[in-house]
Copies of this chain bind each other. A is one copy, B any other.
Amino acid sequence: MRRKKEPTEIKKEIIDAARQLFLEEGYQHVSMRKIATKIGYTPTTIYIYFKNKEEILLHLLEEGYGLFYHELKIAYDHAFDQSHEIRLFNMCEAYIYFGLKQPDYYNIAFMNNLEKNTSKIENSDRYNAFLLLNTVVKEFIQENAFSEMAQSDMDISHTIWASLHGLTSLLITFPQFDWGEQNRLIQFHIRTIIQGLKN
């Protein structure tokens, strides 16, 4: 059954199918056949567009990081006239809501370290996102003049990242658990971290 489609369109179909399956069943349990079946092509066809299974994953990762960074950047830019604390708060919100809106991307991007062998971490948008967070943190530090506490901005960034990741991934992984009112929890979570940093 031959159809006529833009190459980019098929590539997109593959990526879309792969993303969904990767989320639902985990990278290891997704086979090329499954992806192929899902888009109505033969497994062979996929190999025209991607060298192998790993390349699909890599593509997905970069895409996911890109979207993620983009969201954070918007939150950062949008509150340009606010205090740095508010900007930080907004970014934290953006982080968590990105994960909730795009659990598939988030899952692939942060809950498995699938780049183990590729190690071009430094120039990916994942790193850029972290750098952006770090920037806000530094500004936030200056704003608050954390005089006595000489805690490095890195530790602070790590702590924030970890806390955000923690709530996001739990909410994704255990959706049926009783989290109370989700939005309230999120607000409280972020508030707690930021308050904690100010002391």
| Interface of A toward B, CB cutoff 8 Å | 26, 28, 110-113, 119, 121, 151-152, 154-155, 158-159, 161-167, 169-170, 173-174, 176-177, 179-180, 184-185, 188-189, 191-199
Most B Cβ at <10 Å: residue of A170, A179, A194: A170
| Min distance, Cβ A98 to any Cβ of chain B, angstroms | 15
Chain B residues positioned under 8 Å from A179 (CB to CB): 158
Contact at A189–B159, with CB atoms within 8 Å? yes
CA distance A138 to B122 in the complex (A): 42
Q: Among B113, B159, B169, B170, point to the contact of A192 (Cβ < 8 A).
A: B159
Chain B residues positioned under 8 Å from A191 (CB to CB): 196
Q: Would you call the interface of chain A mostly helix, strand, loop, or mixed?
A: helix
CA distance A104 to B28 in the complex (A): 16
Q: Among B119, B169, B185, point to the contact of A111 (Cβ < 8 A).
A: B169
| Min distance, Cβ A2 to any Cβ of chain B, angstroms | 14
Contact at B167–A159, with CB atoms within 8 Å? yes
Q: Among B151, B161, B185, point to the contact of A159 (Cβ < 8 A).
A: B185
CA distance A159 to B198 in the complex (A): 17
Contact at A185–B158, with CB atoms within 8 Å? yes
Contact at A162–B163, with CB atoms within 8 Å? yes
| Min distance, Cβ A180 to any Cβ of chain B, angstroms | 6
Give 4 closest A-B pairs by Cβ, nearest first: A166-B166, A196-B196, A192-B196, A162-B167
